[in-house]
Amino acid sequence: MNSNSYVFEDIYTQRIRPIKIKLGEHELFGLYILYKCRYLTGMQIADIISASNQITKKGIHNKIYSKYIKSNILVPYKVKNAIPGVIFNYYRIGANGLRILCDNFFITEKEAEQYLNDKHKIPKRMMHFFDTQSVVINTLSNLYEHRNEISLEDLRLDYMDKGEVSKIHVDSVLKYKDRYLYIEMDTGSEGLEFIRQKIQAYGNYAKSEPDRQHILLLAYGDRKNLNVNGRSRSVREGNIKQTIVGADYLQLPNLHICITDIHSSFKLGAKLLLGEKPYNEEQIQNELNNLIYNLNQNRVLNLEITNNLDVSIPDNYKSLTLKGYQTAVIKNKRRDISLYEESVLLLYMEEGNVRLLDQLDYYYHLVIKGKIDFQRIIVVYDNPEELLNDKLGYIYKEALFVDSYTAAMETENDEIFYHQLTKLNMGVKTFEWQRHKK
């Protein structure tokens, strides 16, 4: 990619005085992403170009209308009532935009010719398409420094399943090194069984490509059930998770499945592709140990880490390797119940992480049924935003929820714990003793 600016002189459009347009590297990159995505809204184009912090979004919008369209760098389209009562513009790259990409070696002359000969069909499910592009653009914007290492890949995955060729049509695919991020947008129009089968297909594909790291990011974006901040007000997100809880492919070492709302997907996409999420076992262990230290320092609870508590699964139960946990004994300093203590299993959770949810679900029911010797499960998130936004799809009534960020604050108040009020809402809960004798 040419790091210098490029000056395009529009001598192809019939004018008395040709327009000269100076394009920085960030604008060239934005044009290339538009070429790969086929169509983007004006806001999406502004988001990806402004990620470099070299030009404002307002400046980009002005340039779109004053120069890009006039010089056939962009071709505009206007849509009415894709969202009731809303008119918006979207764009594809024009003939001169293709010429610019060829001049700067982003694409070949043959690729430009193929694009020009394309019929440029309007997306059938328009809002589904542009919501998918929003996840793609926000992910790329957060990865601007890595832009030369990231590619947009084919939207079709072929693999062998039981001796036959199967295929998956993906909404979008981003690649970074050996990591593939498959972006799927759920707008609530497909049944849970259809979603389950599609996720199962990703499990099969991951098995067929063991040398790749496969990351499925399923973003929930049903506009009827999102609040003004893009947060979900629907149980569907959690219901999808519970549909696949217990699936064998969740234990594959080269597959990670994340299901969350469209708002969270904007930040998570970049972290998942770079490998910053999910946390590995060492990172999780450090998080849990720090939590225990902070709870003790702030006199919220008195916990003693112990390795003597048995987390092995009874013989007649499915084997599940427990990852990201800590065992401890809680002792209260108050005199009235000083003879009482509880064994506790601390499980780490990340927003959208279905593998960790599968682990929580399995061990929670073992504890409730008395199959392993713990009195309590404490579920630990990194921060309050993740804790309050994560939709689990099931009410783990006896579990306590806490986040490391809040626990690190200096307070002797034990009202830092939460419990589930409904499948959608958490409520503050003080620590209550189960009163199990030593």
Confidence of residue 169 (pLDDT cuts 50, 70, 90): very high
Which residue, among 385, 379, 87, has the nearest Cα to 230 in the 3D structure? 385
CATH of 138-274, one of 3.40.1350, 3.40.50, 3.10.50, 3.30.420: 3.40.1350
| Strand 426-429 with 87-93, pairing | unpaired
What's the CA gap between 8 and 21, in Å, rounded? 5
Fold of 6-122: Arc Repressor Mutant, subunit A (1.10.10)
What's the CA gap between 295 and 404, in Å, rounded? 9
224: which residues sit within 8 A by CB, 6+ positions away? 188
**pLDDT: is 12 or 168 the higher one?**
168
Confidence of residue 335 (pLDDT cuts 50, 70, 90): very low
What's the CA gap between 436 and 421, in Å, rounded? 25
Question: How confident is the prediction for the chain on average, in pLDDT?
Answer: 87
* Span 23-51, pLDDT tens digits: 889 999 999 999 999 999 999 999 999 99
What's the CA gap between 108 and 419, in Å, rounded? 57
Yes or no: say if 24 and 55 are a contact pair by the CB < 8 Å rule: yes
3-state secondary structure 133-150: HHHHHHHHHCCHHHHHHE
pLDDT value at residue 398: 92
* Span 356-393, pLDDT tens digits: 999 999 999 999 999 888 988 999 999 999 999 999 99
What's the CA gap between 154 and 322, in Å, rounded? 35
What mean pLDDT is predicted for residues 122-142? 91
The helix/strand/coil state of 109 is helix
- The DSSP code sequence of 305-360 is E-S-S--PPPTTS------SEEEEEEE--SGGGTTBEEEEEEEE--TTBHHHHHHH
Judge whether residue 56 has pLDDT over 80: yes
Which residue, among 393, 309, 317, 395, has the nearest Cα to 346 in the 3D structure? 309
Confidence of residue 184 (pLDDT cuts 50, 70, 90): very high
Token code pair at residue 371: 């199959």
**pTM of the complete model:** 0.90
What is residue 13's DSSP assignment?
S
pLDDT value at residue 199: 98
Yes or no: say if 153 and 174 are a contact pair by the CB < 8 Å rule: yes
What's the CA gap between 356 and 359, in Å, rounded? 5
The helix/strand/coil state of 51 is coil
% of residues, the chain, pLDDT over 90? 60
Yes or no: say if 295 and 303 are a contact pair by the CB < 8 Å rule: yes
Helix (H) or strand (E) holding 156: strand 156-161
The helix/strand/coil state of 169 is strand
Token code pair at residue 418: 């939460």
Confidence of residue 405 (pLDDT cuts 50, 70, 90): very high
What mean pLDDT is predicted for residues 148-169? 90
pLDDT value at residue 414: 67
Yes or no: say if 174 and 139 are a contact pair by the CB < 8 Å rule: yes
Extended strands (E) in 162-299 = 164-169, 172-176, 179-186, 213-220, 255-261
What mean pLDDT is predicted for residues 200-213? 96
